[in-house]
Amino acid sequence: MDTYQIFKIILGLIVSAFIVIFIVIFISNYGGLQTDTQKAKILSLFDKTATNVLLYGNDANFTEFKRMDYSAITFDPISETIITGSVSRKLTEPIFLYPGKTLYIHRGEADLGWWKFYFVEALPDTSIIFNVMDGDAWEQVIDIVTEMPSTTGETIKTRFGLCDGSTLQEDFCNDELCERDYFLQAIYGNEGMTFSRCRETILGEKYRLVFVSDSCTGINEGICIESSPDGVGYIYIDGNQHVYKDVADIIAMIVGYIKSDHFGVYGENLYTLKNEIFRERALFASQVLSSRAKILSSEMTINQCKQLFETLGEKLDEISNILSDEDYYKDIDSAIQFKQLSEEAGRTHREIVNMGCDYPI
Amino acid sequence: MKGQMELMEYLFLTVFVILIIIVLMFFITGWQVTQSGIERTKEVSDEVTFLMKKFSTMDYFVKEDGVFDDAKLTVLSSMENVCEELRPILGSNWFATITVFDESGSIKVCTESNYPDCNHWSFCKKENRDFVSRKLPVNIYRNTNRIGDSIFAKNDIGVLEVGFYEI
C-alpha cells in the first residue's frame, strides 16, 4: 500500500465522519424543532378551544394531548404559563387544566350580582367524593357541583359520590358514581344529614376527596372546606389554609387537587391563577360599570333610578378600592367585605332592573 | 501525474457530495421558512376572527352576545389607557371601531361629555402599519334614547371593525 492509498483512506474517513456528524446534528435539530412546533400547536389549540368554551359556554372535548406526553404538562403560577418540555404558553383566561389524555372542557360561573366571572374547567375522567360532616353545608355542596361538568352522553366522565365513615356511597346511580345532574337529584333533601369522617384509606388514588365540615382541624388529607353560610371561609389543601369567597376558588382547588411538582401543589397554583385573573378582571369591570352607572345616572329622568345608579356607582367604587390591593384575597376580612359589598351592589342593580331602568346582568 | 489526477477526482467528488447536502439543507430550511410564512398569514387571519368573537361576546362591551352597550362603549373609549387596560384581556397589536349606521354619514365620536348624542367609538388608534381587518354588522343597545321627556332604550344597527397588525 503506497502513501497515496493511505492518504485516500484517511481523507475518506475524515470527510465521511464530517458528513455523518453534520447530517446527524441537522436531523436532530430539525426533528426537535418539529416536535416542539407540534407541542406548541397543540397547546395553542387547547388554549383556543378552552377560550371558545369560555366565550360561548358550549362544552367541548379535547383529545389532542394524546399526541404528546401529557403527563409532562405542568403549570407555572408565577408566569401563568402551561409548560411542557421547552414549550410554554401563557394563559390569558381563567382555565383550570388538569392534564390528561382526553379532556372534557366546561364553563363555570361565579355570579357576583353586579358582574359574572366565567372560568373553564378542563378535566380528564374524574371522580369526586364529598364527605359532608356539617348538616347545614349541603347547599354549598350543591353550589359547587352545579358549576362542574354534566357529562351525560359523553365519553369523558366527571362523577360524584359520597363517603360516610368507612362506606363509599358510589352505587346510587346504577351501581356506579353519579354524573352531575343525577347526583344533584340524589342529594336533594339531604339538608341536616351529617356523615361521619371518611376513612380515606377506603378510597383509591382515582378519587378526589373533599371534606365539608364546620371545622377542618385535624384533617390533613385531600381538600377540606370549612362550611360557611355567607360563602366566605377557609379551605385547606395539603394542610395549607386559604380563603375562599366564591365557588371558583373551591373548583380551582378541586380541579388541581393535591398533585404536586416543582412548581408546588397544583390545586394551590390554580387557585392563585384564578385569583390573579379574577382581581384584574373584577377591578376593571368595577371601574367600567361604576363609570357607566354615573353617566346613566346623569341621563335618568326618573329620580329613583337616578339615585339608585348613583348608589351603585358608589358601591362599585368601594369594590374597586378593595380590589386595588393585590393580596386582598388572602385576607378573610377583605374577602368578607368584598362579598358584602358585592351583594349590596347586586341588590341595588336588581332594584334598578325592577324599576325598568336597566337590563339584568 | 496519474495519482494527482485521481486525488483531484476524489476531491471534486467529495466537494460535490458536500454541495448537494448543503443545497438539500437550504431547500428544507427554505421550505420550512415559506411554510412558517403561510402559517403566520393564517394565524393573523384567525387572530382577527378570534378577536372579533371576543369583542362581541365579552361583557365589558356588550349587553348580550352581539349587542353592544353604548354606555359601556363610551366609558371604555373615554379611558386614557384603554389599550393598556385591555391588553391582558385582548392582547396587543389590534384596533377596533364601532359606528352606528347613519344615513347622513356624519361621525360623532362618543365621549362622556357628549353621551348619548354620538355614534362612533374607537379603541386603540388605527396606525399607519400593515393590518388585516374584518367588518361585522352588530346591534348597539342605546340605554338612554330620549323621546320627548322620557327615556326608552332601543337597538341601533352598526358596524364593528376589528383589525390586527401584521408584525
**Residues of chain A predicted below pLDDT 70:** 1, 171, 202, 204
Record the cell numbers describing residue A104, joined without a space. Answer: 372534557
- Residue B92 confidence (pLDDT) above 80: yes
| Cα A60 → chain centroid | 16
Q: What is the pLDDT of residues A280-305, one digit of tens each?
A: 999 999 999 999 999 999 988 888 99
The C-alpha angle A290, A246, A109, rounded to 5 degrees, equals 75
| Residue B12 and residue B67 in one domain | no
| Residue B91 and residue B22 in one domain | no
Interaxial angle between packed helices A138-146 and A180-187, expressed in degrees from 0 to 180 and rounded to the nearest 10: 170
| Residue B50 and residue B131 in one domain | yes
Residues A82/A135, Cβ–Cβ less than 8 Å: no
| Residue B17 and residue B96 in one domain | no
pLDDT (mean) for B68-75:
96
Q: What's the length of chain A?
A: 361
Look at residue B1 in the predicted model and tell me its pLDDT. Answer: 67
| Residue B21 and residue B61 in one domain | no
Closest of A33, A91, A98, A94 to residue A65, by C-alpha = A98
Nearest residue of chain B to residue A18 (CA atoms): B18
Residue A125 DSSP code:
S
Report the predicted TM-score, pTM, of the whole model to 2 decimal places: 0.87
| Interface residue A95 vs chain B (CB under 8 A) | no
Min Cα–Cα distance to chain A from B129, Å = 26
Using a CB-CB distance cutoff of 8 angstroms, which residues of chain A are in contact with residue B150? 301
Interaxial angle between packed helices B2-55 and B82-90, expressed in degrees from 0 to 180 and rounded to the nearest 10: 110
| Residue B92 and residue B136 in one domain | yes
Using a CB-CB distance cutoff of 8 angstroms, which residues of chain A are in contact with residue B54? 51, 55
| Residue B54 and residue B116 in one domain | yes
Q: ipTM score of the complex?
A: 0.83
Number of Cβ within 10 Å of residue A200's Cβ equals: 16
Record the cell numbers describing residue A86, joined without a space. Answer: 421547552
| Interface residue A300 vs chain B (CB under 8 A) | yes
Mutate to test the interface with A, among B36, B72, B121, B150 (most CBs of A within 10 A): B72
Q: How far is CA B107 from CA A201, A314, B97, B100, B101, in A?
A: 70, 33, 12, 9, 10
Give me the number of domains chain B comprises.
2
Number of Cβ within 10 Å of residue A220's Cβ equals: 12
Q: What is the pLDDT of residues B123-165, one digit of tens each?
A: 998 888 888 999 999 999 999 877 777 778 889 999 999 999 8
| Residue B49 and residue B27 in one domain | no
| Cα B92 → chain centroid | 9
Query: What percent of chain B is predicted at pLDDT more than 70?
Result: 98
| Residue B20 and residue B85 in one domain | no
Min Cα–Cα distance to chain A from B167, Å = 19
Look at residue B6 in the predicted model and tell me its pLDDT. Answer: 76
Please state, in angstroms and rounded to a whole number, the distance separating the CA atoms of residues A284 and B91.
Answer: 15
| Cα B141 → chain centroid | 24
B112/A285 CB distance under 8 A:
no
A280/B18 CB distance under 8 A:
no
Using a CB-CB distance cutoff of 8 angstroms, which residues of chain B are in contact with residue A58? none
- Residue B122 confidence (pLDDT) above 80: yes
Q: Which of A4, A289, A359 faces B3 most closely, judged by CB atoms?
A: A4
Which own/partner pairs from A302-307 qualify as long-range (CB within 8 Å, at least 24 positions apart)?
Answer: A302/A355, A302/A357, A304/A355, A305/A352, A305/A355, A305/A357
Q: What is the pLDDT of residues B42-68, one digit of tens each?
A: 888 888 988 999 999 999 999 999 899
| Residue B18 and residue B50 in one domain | no
Domain extent at residue B142: 43-165
Please state, in angstroms and rounded to a whole number, the distance separating the CA atoms of residues A250 and A236.
Answer: 10
